[in-house]
Amino acid sequence: MIDIKKIGLIYNATRKENSEIIDKVERYLHGKGISTWRGKTGVENSDWKFLKESLDFALVLGGDGTLLGASRILSPKSIPMFGVNTGHLGFLTEGRSADILNLLEKVLNNEYRIEERTMLCSHILNSNPLSGENGPMFALNDIVISRSQSYSMINITLNVNDKPVADYIADGLIISTPTGSTAYAMSAGGAVMDPEIHGIEIVPICAHSLTSRPYIVGDNKAIKITFNRPHEGSVLEVDGQERFPVHDGDHVSISRSAHTAKLIRLLGEESDFYWTIRKKFHWGLTAK
């Protein structure tokens, strides 16, 4: 359990109500003798990628996107995250902001568990040796290679442990963690994965083939994507939030990150994965 002395307060500052909620939370925590640090997302001058604060955990206020963005900064520092939903779906977060002090009180009373979620680590390996490489780029949900604004499909080969596995002519390829299997990968026809599975899901996007299917490899495998034709305009997308250009001749490597996202989950059924997908995705419910 966490001996709590300092808590990070990370919030989507594009919503005015979030600032008001954070003010309330800060007063509450200061009244308990707990110091705080604030980090804003969604606004200019909110770049805290080089966070140097020593935090026991971070309260992340917003939707799933806010938590995804925070995970890429906090997870390499092994800082646990407690997400409270003020967004739409709130698949990765807990409860609603109206109950935030009650939810926080449960964490302070050690009524929680920590789920460690697999993350991906990606590099763009440049064709020009003098250019080096771009990376590492971390993702909690997925790494996506796409044609972006280009009108042409991309022609790529997927390699696993340096062995060619499949060729795709497609709009792109999704490389997903079990956490991300309920996001873009699911929308593109991939399988829903239990977050405890040690696997990486590979889902082609609109492949020009009748035989291309999603499949899952062990998360101890090294994945490399090479391009078979010129592909200027292609991009690598991290959790749907950050975009990096992939130039002609580059290739992309993806593997399991050495870091995991540590999610604070309250005890009870509402933090259970299967309860969540049934309640929020209406999974397996009969039509009425």
Spatial CB neighbours of 12, under 8 Å, sequence gap ≥ 6 = 18, 41, 42, 61, 62, 63, 65, 66, 86, 87
Candidate list 3, 64, 239, 248, residue with the active-site label: 64
> Residue type at 200?
I
Exposure on the CB side of residue 65, measured as CA atoms within 13 A: 12
Residue 165's CB is within 10 A of a number of other CB atoms, namely 14
Per DSSP, the chain holds a count of helices (H) and strands (E) of 5, 17
Partnered with residue 154 across adjacent β-strands are 170
Partnered with residue 173 across adjacent β-strands are 145, 204
* Residue recorded with tokens 């955990």: 57
Q: Are 161 and 254 spatial neighbours (Cβ–Cβ below 8 Å)?
A: no
Alpha-carbon distance of 192 to 273, in angstroms, equals 11
Could you give phi then psi for residue 53, rounded to 5 degrees? -70, 145
Residue 101's CB is within 10 A of a number of other CB atoms, namely 13
> Residue type at 44?
E
Structure tokens at 52: 């140097």
The sign one gets for the Cα dihedral 8, 12, 14, 17 is negative
Is 23 marked active-site?
no
User: Following CA atoms 34, 64, 182, 288 in sequence, which dihedral angle do they give, to the nearest 10 degrees?
Assistant: 110
Catalytic site positions: 64
